[in-house]
Amino acid sequence: MLYLFDFDGVLVDSLAFYEELVRTSLEDMGLFIVRDRQDYLDLFEDNFYESLRGRGVDVETFNARARARAAVADYGRITPVAGMAAVLPALQRNGIRNVIISSNASGAIETVLERSGWSRFFEGVLSADFMLEKVGKILHARERWNEQGGPVFYIGDTAGDIREARAAGANTVAVTWGWHSEEQLRKARPDAIVHHPSELIGLTG
């Protein structure tokens, strides 16, 4: 069985951190399209980078600005989601393979994993450095880490996560402790909705 985890909002609490980073990176480009939190969260109704393109953002320039800001950012502001520290080793003991699929950069993810001591629980990280669209990342992960053809679950916290994972043929699991509200998540029609990390143990597809 393969679990594909979104990172921000699912494994760690990073909303305020990245809302600020994205807003200021866009402002560096003279773009003031993230005026408040709702503007930011609206970018995740679909693929984050496609949402930026749809608002006239040059993604390559944006990523360069964001990398520059991320290089001096305080990652201590990003904290693990309560309850996840007990779930990850339990999944590993149950023989589940865990992979992170995220729109974030690999350096940021690996920094936080190392700080939390969670690196050992994940077999791989497919980040924005690998590919921008999650559909392709999910298909790649299935081919690389699911040789036996067992169930594949994508665990996300935004409507965009759910829509991309469904397009890739994964079982979709929406978590309610992340960035989008349960109402928004339900509109994306996930296969399952969970309200606490412990519910991720024993998913069936």
Q: Kindly report, residue by residue over 161-203, the tens digit of the pLDDT.
A: 999 999 999 999 999 999 999 999 999 999 999 999 999 998 8
CA distance 62 to 29: 8
Residue 204 in this model has a pLDDT that exceeds 80? no
Q: Kindly report, residue by residue over 73-91, the tens digit of the pLDDT.
A: 999 999 999 999 999 999 9
Would you place residue 148 in the very low, low, confident or very high pLDDT band (cuts 50, 70, 90)? Answer: confident
Would you place residue 156 in the very low, low, confident or very high pLDDT band (cuts 50, 70, 90)? Answer: very high
Would you place residue 52 in the very low, low, confident or very high pLDDT band (cuts 50, 70, 90)? Answer: very high
Q: Kindly report, residue by residue over 96-136, the tens digit of the pLDDT.
A: 999 999 999 999 999 999 999 999 999 999 999 999 999 99
Q: Which CATH class is domain 2-13+80-200?
A: alpha beta
Q: Kindly report, residue by residue over 6-46, the tens digit of the pLDDT.
A: 999 999 999 999 999 999 999 999 999 999 999 999 999 99
CA distance 202 to 165: 20
Domain ranges of the chain: 2-13+80-200, 15-76
Q: Check residue 203 and give its pLDDT.
A: 82
Looking at the whole model, is its pTM more than 0.85? yes
Handedness of CA 60, 38, 185, 106 (dihedral sign): positive
Mean pLDDT, the chain, as a whole number? 95
Would you place residue 205 in the very low, low, confident or very high pLDDT band (cuts 50, 70, 90)? Answer: low
DSSP the chain: -EEEE--BTTTEE-HHHHHHHHHHHHHHTT-----SHHHHHHTTSS-HHHHHHHTT--HHHHHHHHHHHHTT--GGG-EEPTTHHHHHHHHHHTT-EEEEE-SS-HHHHHHHHHHHT-GGG-SEEE-TTT-S-HHHHHHHHHHHH-TT---EEEEESSHHHHHHHHHTTPEEEEETTSSS-HHHHHHT--SEEESSGGGGTT---
